[in-house]
Amino acid sequence: MLRIGILYPLHSAEDDYPNMAARLESPVEVAVVHTDAVDLHTVEDCRRTGDWAHLEPGAAELQTRDVDVCMWACTSGSFVYGLAGAKDQARQLGSYLGVPASSTSLSFVESIQALGITRVAVGATYPEALATEFVKFLGEGGIQVVHLGSLGIWTAVEVGEVDGEEVIDFVRANDHADAEAILVPDTALHTVAFLQELDSAVGKPVLTANQVTMWEALRLGGRARRQGGFGHLFAAAEDPVGERE
């Protein structure tokens, strides 16, 4: 069985990962390891959260879990380094653990490219200054942001308390006629339980942080496959040629 290691900052919506893993048609194992972080959505604090000094203890714990894939499940703690910096961050994790590794920010770029789209709207929980850094990151990946909306929430703890109806309303409010998909880039936000409802609310793909992180982990582990219940991204996935045991 594929074993996915999740490095997750602090505590808020980490239960999305085991919940999603259990619902997959071919279940996988998820090991969630918490990293230390500064729970404040400023660019400077997010850079500290993604620093190797914060990631290394969690990576060391994952070494004992015999994982096949590692994901740094933090959007802001990866996109604040820019595209090249986020790739370097993932390479360092992968080299340390000896397994494929990536991050939530890179997962957004990969999933958008997989869907063959280039124009998106962003509905971010972050304050506007941090959300703007995500827009810059996407631009480096060749993705045009046609609309940016911000909830202005300063901490992950507060984001974790936002309920499903609020998320759906927020996504609706941040749709745009020119957007081919809507991105919701915060792993502190619960979304896995209502991914289908999000897509249905706007009639287009809605890509959320925890969704794309798991999608990328499965892709890196050779387990990407079409399945229902997790939104357009998973419904559109290509079935793999072979499976990893």
Residues shown for the chain: 245
Residue 82 and residue 163 in one domain: no
Residue 51 and residue 112 in one domain: no
Residue 130 and residue 186 in one domain: yes
244 assigned to some structural domain: no
**65-79 residues labelled b (16+ CB within 10 A) or e (exposed):** eebbbbbbbbbbbbb
Tokens of 155: 């901490």
245 assigned to some structural domain: no
Residue 147 and residue 163 in one domain: yes
pTM above 0.85, yes or no: yes
pLDDT at residue 7 tops 70: yes
Give, to the nearest 10 degrees, the angle between helix 104-115 and helix 82-97. 110
| Average predicted confidence (pLDDT) for the chain | 94
Residue 94 and residue 177 in one domain: no
Residue 100 and residue 112 in one domain: no
Q: Can you say whether residue 116 is alpha, beta or left, with left for phi > 0 and alpha for psi between -120 and 50 degrees? A: left
pLDDT value, residue 239? 57
pLDDT value, residue 201? 97
Give the whole-angstrom CA distance, residue 63 versus residue 58.
9
* Mean local confidence (pLDDT), 36-63: 92
pLDDT digits (tens, 9 = 90+) for 187-237: 999 999 999 999 999 999 999 999 999 999 999 999 988 999 999 999 987
138 assigned to some structural domain: yes
Residue 14 and residue 98 in one domain: yes
pLDDT digits (tens, 9 = 90+) for 76-131: 999 999 999 999 999 999 999 999 999 999 999 999 999 999 999 999 999 999 99
Residue 204 and residue 219 in one domain: no
122 assigned to some structural domain: yes
Which range of residues forms the domain containing residue 16?
Answer: 3-104+210-235
* Mean local confidence (pLDDT), 48-68: 96
Residue 224 and residue 183 in one domain: no
pLDDT value, residue 241? 39
pLDDT value, residue 38? 75
Cβ of 24: how many Cβ atoms within 10 Å?
Answer: 17
Which CATH number do you get for residue 9?
3.40.50.12500
Give, to the nearest 10 degrees, the angle between helix 52-63 and helix 82-97. 30
Which CATH number do you get for residue 176?
3.40.50.1860
241 assigned to some structural domain: no
Residue 71 and residue 191 in one domain: no
